[in-house]
Amino acid sequence: MTETLQIINPAGEKVGKAPRVKREVLLRMYRAMASVRHFDDRCMKLQRTGRIGFSIPNLGIEAVSVGAAATLDPECDWIAPSYRDFGMAFFHGISVEKMMDTQFGNGEDHNKGRQMPVHFTFLDPIRFLSISSPIGTHLPQAVGVAMAMQRKQEKGVCLVSFGDGGTSSLGFHSGLNFAGVYKAPVVFLCQNNQWAISCPLEKQTASESIAIKGEAYGIPGVRVDGNDVLAVYRAVRDAVKKAREGGGPTLIEAVTMRMGGHSTSDDPSRYVDQELMEEWKLKDPLKRFREYLFAEGLLDEAGVEALDQELSEQIQAAAKAAAAKPRPGLETIFSDVYETFPAHLQVQRDQCIQHFAGRDESVNEEGEFPL
């Protein structure tokens, strides 16, 4: 069985050699993980009260996203995220309000309301490709990004994140095959959270691990404790360095457990044994990292309480601000396809707005959406 890298055990005790990370980066990692926890909780409440239509729980996955994100250079690297990667956005300082804009699908949402909530995309402060619902389709795209940088002789690396269910997709196999053949500067990060919606890992694959799957494509595989943020950081850091220096791709399996449903439309209590959930609660990645920082003298209870209060207020204010913004204009159905807006689409746009305005469906000539 592939060895599983661990640096901090569930009690927060150091059991392996910790990577050298600056104090400010460690605290930034903790802040990002705590931000995910608060943002996730607020989105669940917003969905349950009918304020937003959908969200994807990130509870229990925080260390995978944040540990990986902390290794990247926003000046040259790309992220091809999964829909359970709030932590990557938070670590790189993407605005909470901008993320809430996507959750509400308002007029300032980057997607103009044309994507589902949670399907974030940003170009600043890091290149964050649009999240896609179809499983595995973004893996070949990530390899394409990496190969483009390779051909242009750039030093960038593309990190692509996906779940254990994604390893059964065509995109996983074609993506790894291309990356292996061309030694593309890409890091494949699998969040092995044990379940692909209600399908358990043992019904997903007969392989002894996901990390071992890389061997078929000439790609080294690494298995890491996904609830140990420093172990994830070290594994991804080494893989990024190798890719940046021309050494090709790496497949990393981060073993973790999603502690909520697949989405807000899912009830995990119908298929996940409660005893298993209780077992994984003892491995909480946020608590584990907090205990480590306490032991290292980098954080204390007062600091945790102050941060939790700050984040709670910040995220609540962001949700309130996003909810108050107007919806996207009706004309956005037609925009962002062509660099120069063609005449035939202008005609269709004007006819569409006039049609709804004429039917008195709360759409004015400015194109306010009828919801």
292 is catalytic: no
CA dihedral 266, 89, 52, 102 (to 10 degrees): -130
d(CA 62, CA 234): 16
Strand locations in 167-235, DSSP E? Answer: 186-192, 195-196, 199-200, 221-225
- Of these residues, 92, 262, 288, 349, which one is catalytic? 262
d(CA 257, CA 277): 9
Residue 298: burial class (beta carbons within 10 Å; 0-12, 13-18, 19+): middle
Q: What share of the chain is helix, strand, coil (3-state, %, to 5)?
A: 45, 10, 45
Closest by alpha carbon to 158, among 118, 127, 137, 181? 127
Taking CA atoms, 126 is separated from 139, 164, 327, in Å, by 18, 25, 26
Taking CA atoms, 300 is separated from 30, 291, 309, in Å, by 12, 9, 14
DSSP assignment of 304-370 equals: HHHHHHHHHHHHHHHHHHHHHSPPPBGGGGT-SS-SS--HHHHHHHHHHHHHHHHTTSS--TT-B--
Closest by alpha carbon to 97, among 87, 110, 84? 110
Q: Are 88 and 35 in contact (CB under 8 A)?
A: no
State how far Cα 357 lies from the chain centre: 39
359 is catalytic: no
Q: Are 181 and 248 in contact (CB under 8 A)?
A: no
262 is catalytic: yes
Q: Are 96 and 35 in contact (CB under 8 A)?
A: yes
- Of these residues, 92, 127, 258, 349, which one is catalytic? 258
d(CA 17, CA 7): 6
Residues taking part in catalysis: 258, 262, 271
